[in-house]
Amino acid sequence: MNATVHLKPGAADRVVAGHPWIYQGEILRMTQTPADGEIVQVKDHRQRFLGIGFFNSKSKIHVRVLSPERVDINEAFFEERIRAALALRRKRLPASSSFRVVNAEADFLSGLIVDKYEDVLVLQISALGMEKRKALVAGVLEKIFSPRAIVERSDVASRKFEGLAPAVGLLSGAFEGPLWVTLNGLKFETDLAAGHKTGLYLDQQTNYQAVAQCVSLLPDARVLDCFSFLGGFGLHAARAGAARVHFLDQSAEAIEAARRNSAANGLAGKCSFEAANVFDWLKANTAVQPHEKVIPRFDLIILDPPSFTRNRASVPDALRGYKEIHLRALKLLKTGGILASFCCSHHVPSGLFQDTLLSAAFDTRRILRRLAVYSQSPDHPVIPMIPETEYLKGFAFEVVR
Ligand code: SAH
C-alpha cells in the first residue's frame, strides 16, 4: 500500500490545474513515511484524490506528480507518454531528424529529458524517482527508437538538490567522437559528451530559419552573430544569401567548431570568426572620440547570450547586461537594419525583456519597428499552467531611423 500525502488547504489548486510540483511546506501530513523515489498518492485535506507521483524527502520538491489517475508507473506507462511526446514532434517538426523527444514537465514526465540527435539518443535525468527507473526508461527508448546508442548526460546542477551525483556515460550501444547533426538541412558538428545542454541548442531550431528569412529583406547583408556557439544563426543567414557573416564567441573551441561547420556546409568563403568576449568587442567597436559618431556597418545583428540570471535576485544585474549589449548593437546597425535578440532566462518575462531593449533604443535615439516575436521550438512545448516550461523569448526589430 502506497503512502498518502495530504496537502494543506489551498495547496491543491495548483496540482488540480496541472502543475506537478508539491513543495515540502504544502504537505499537511503523511499516512506513513515513504522511501525516497517511491510512488505516493496525493490527496487534499478533505481526502479528495489528486494523483500519484514520485516522493523525495531530500528535495524541496517533495512530490513530482506523474498522473491525476491511479496508474501503475511501469513500462506501459513510460511507453505511452514517450510515444505521445514523439507524436507531437512528428506533427510539429515533420522534417526534423534531431529534436527534443521528451521535455520533462512539458511532457508530463518531471525529471526526464530525452534528445534525439539523428540516430543517437541523449538522456538527462534530474529527479530521484526517474533515476530509480532509468533502466525501465532506457528499455522503452530502445523499443521505440532502436537507437545506435543512448548517451547519458545527467550532469545538471539541479541533481544535487535531489541528492544525486552527476552521471555521464554510455547507457547502451556504441558511440564515439563528434556527431554530425542536421538542422534545417545544415550540418553541425556536435559534441554529445561535453557540449552545451545535451549537445546543441535544439530550442532554436525553428528560430534559425525564421531569423534567416530576415536576410531576404536585406540586400548584400553584413551579419554579426554574437554568442554564436556552433554557428547556428550565422550559418543559416549565410545560406539565406548574406554577403558576409562575422561570428563572435568567447570560447575558442566553439569558434573553431563554427569554422569547421561553415566549411562543411560550403559557406566558409563568406564567414569570419573571432574568439572574443561580446561585451568587450562591442565596447571596443563602438568607442569613439568626443563629437565623433559610430559608423553603423551591420545589416543584421543576432544577440543570443547565455542566461544572465540564475535566480530572481540577479534579474536587475542581468537587465543591465542585456541593456548594454543592445545599446552597443543598435549603434552598429544601419538604418533599415534588423536586430534579432533572444533571452533564455525564465526569470525575465517577455515584456520586461522588450522594455529593456526599448530603453536601449531610447538612449541611442533609434525608433524600432517590431517584425517578429519568437519563442522556443515546438519540441520544447509551453504549458502555461506550468510557468517554468516557458523560458525562451526573442524579437526581431527593424531600425526605422
Ligand atoms: N546562439 C547559439 C547559442 C548561444 S549559447 C546557438 O544557437 O547555438 C551562449 C554562447 O555564448 C556560448 O557558446 C558561450 O561560449 C558564449 N558566451 C558566454 N558569455 C560570453 C561572452 N561574454 N562573450 C562571448 N561569448 C560568450
* Choice from 188, 246, 249 to test ligand 1 binding pocket (greatest atom count within 8 A of CB): 249
Q: Which of 180, 223, 188, 220 lies closest to 204 in space, CA to CA?
A: 188
Would the pLDDT of 193 be above 90? no
Measure 142 CA to ligand 1 centroid, in angstroms.
Answer: 33
What are φ and ψ of residue 326, in 5° steps? -70, -40
Instruction: Please indicate whether residue 201, judged by its CB atom, sits closer than 6 Å to ligand 1.
Output: yes
Q: Using 50, 70 and 90 to split pLDDT, how confident is the model at 196?
A: confident
The pLDDT score that the predictor gives to residue 145 is 98
Would the pLDDT of 401 be above 90? yes
Q: Of the listed 214, 271, 343, 344, which one is catalytic? A: 344
Give, using CA atoms, the residue closest to atom 7 of ligand 1: 232
Q: Which residues pair with 298 in a beta bridge?
A: 333
Measure 278 CA to ligand 1 centroid, in angstroms.
Answer: 9
The pLDDT score that the predictor gives to residue 54 is 97
Q: State the DSSP H helix or E strand holding residue 236, giving kind and residue range, or none if neither.
A: helix 232-239
Whole-number Å distance between alpha carbons of 322 and 227: 13
Gyration radius of the chain over CA positions: 23
* Choice from 197, 203, 224, 227 to test ligand 1 binding pocket (greatest atom count within 8 A of CB): 227
Beta strands at 186-190 and 179-183: parallel, antiparallel or unpaired:
antiparallel
Measure 277 CA to ligand 1 centroid, in angstroms.
Answer: 9
Whole-number Å distance between alpha carbons of 10 and 75: 34
Give, using CA atoms, the residue closest to atom 22 of ligand 1: 277
Measure 259 CA to ligand 1 centroid, in angstroms.
Answer: 15
| Of 177 and 399, the one with more pLDDT | 399
User: 165 to each of 67, 124, 197, how far by Cα in Å?
Assistant: 27, 13, 17
The pLDDT score that the predictor gives to residue 177 is 82
The pLDDT score that the predictor gives to residue 111 is 97
271 has catalytic annotation: no
Give, using CA atoms, the residue closest to atom 18 of ligand 1: 306
Q: What is the DSSP string of 268-310?
A: GGGEEEEE--HHHHHHHHT---TT------EEEEEE-PPPS-S
Half-sphere exposure of 206 (CA within 13 A, CB side): 21
The pLDDT score that the predictor gives to residue 10 is 95
Q: How many residues does the chain have?
A: 401
232-239 and 252-264 helices cross at what angle (nearest 10)? 30
Would the pLDDT of 1 be above 80? no
pTM, two decimals, is 0.96
Under a CB-based contact definition with an 8 Å cutoff, are residues 278 and 301 in contact? no
Taking the CA of residue 233 as reference, the ligand 1 atom at the shortest distance is 7
SS3 (DSSP) at 255: helix
Q: Across all residues in the chain, what is the average pLDDT?
A: 97
Instruction: Please indicate whether residue 254, judged by its CB atom, sits closer than 6 Å to ligand 1.
Output: yes
What are φ and ψ of residue 39, in 5° steps? -85, 135
Whole-number Å distance between alpha carbons of 360 and 247: 23
Q: Using 50, 70 and 90 to split pLDDT, how confident is the model at 376?
A: very high
Measure 249 CA to ligand 1 centroid, in angstroms.
Answer: 6
The pLDDT score that the predictor gives to residue 194 is 83
204: Cβ–Cβ under 8 A, 6 or more apart, which residues? Answer: 232, 233, 304, 342, 376, 377, 392
Domain ranges of the chain: 4-67, 75-176, 183-399
Whole-number Å distance between alpha carbons of 327 and 320: 10
Would the pLDDT of 229 be above 80? yes
What residue type is 48 in one-letter code? R
Give, using CA atoms, the residue closest to atom 16 of ligand 1: 227
The pLDDT score that the predictor gives to residue 357 is 98
Whole-number Å distance between alpha carbons of 53 and 57: 13
Would the pLDDT of 292 be above 80? yes
Instruction: Please indicate whether residue 230, judged by its CB atom, sits closer than 6 Å to ligand 1.
Output: yes
Taking the CA of residue 201 as reference, the ligand 1 atom at the shortest distance is 8
Q: State the DSSP H helix or E strand holding residue 28, giving kind and residue range, or none if neither.
A: strand 27-30
Instruction: Please indicate whether residue 278, judged by its CB atom, sits closer than 6 Å to ligand 1.
Output: yes
Cell numbers at 147, concatenated = 537507437
What residue type is 109 in one-letter code? L
Instruction: Please indicate whether residue 249, judged by its CB atom, sits closer than 6 Å to ligand 1.
Output: yes
Instruction: Please indicate whether residue 11, judged by its CB atom, sits closer than 6 Å to ligand 1.
Output: no
pLDDT tens digit sequence for 323-368: 999 999 999 999 999 999 999 999 999 999 999 999 999 999 999 9
Q: Which residues pair with 21 in a beta bridge?
A: 64
Q: Using 50, 70 and 90 to split pLDDT, how confident is the model at 267?
A: very high
The CATH superfamily of 75-176 is RNA methyltransferase domain (HRMD) like (3.30.750.80)
The pLDDT score that the predictor gives to residue 272 is 98
The pLDDT score that the predictor gives to residue 17 is 97
Q: Using 50, 70 and 90 to split pLDDT, how confident is the model at 316?
A: very high
The pLDDT score that the predictor gives to residue 195 is 79
Measure 108 CA to ligand 1 centroid, in angstroms.
Answer: 30
Q: Using 50, 70 and 90 to split pLDDT, how confident is the model at 389?
A: very high
User: 105 to each of 128, 256, 388, how far by Cα in Å?
Assistant: 15, 35, 9
**What class has domain 183-399?**
alpha beta
Would the pLDDT of 273 be above 90? yes
User: 218 to each of 46, 358, 369, how far by Cα in Å?
Assistant: 63, 22, 15
The pLDDT score that the predictor gives to residue 14 is 96
Cell numbers at 244, concatenated = 558576409
Measure 263 CA to ligand 1 centroid, in angstroms.
Answer: 20
Whole-number Å distance between alpha carbons of 44 and 89: 35
Measure 58 CA to ligand 1 centroid, in angstroms.
Answer: 33
What DSSP designation does 230 have? T
Fold (topology level) of 4-67: 2.30.130
Q: Which of 361, 318, 317 lies closest to 337 in space, CA to CA?
A: 361
Taking the CA of residue 225 as reference, the ligand 1 atom at the shortest distance is 1
* Choice from 250, 277, 280 to test ligand 1 binding pocket (greatest atom count within 8 A of CB): 250
Under a CB-based contact definition with an 8 Å cutoff, are residues 161 and 126 in contact? no
Instruction: Please indicate whether residue 204, judged by its CB atom, sits closer than 6 Å to ligand 1.
Output: yes
Give, using CA atoms, the residue closest to atom 10 of ligand 1: 227
Burial string for 334-351 (b: 16+ CB within 10 Å, else e) reads: beebbbbbbbbbbbbbbe
> Of all residues in the chain, what percent carry a pLDDT higher than 70?
100
Whole-number Å distance between alpha carbons of 119 and 278: 35
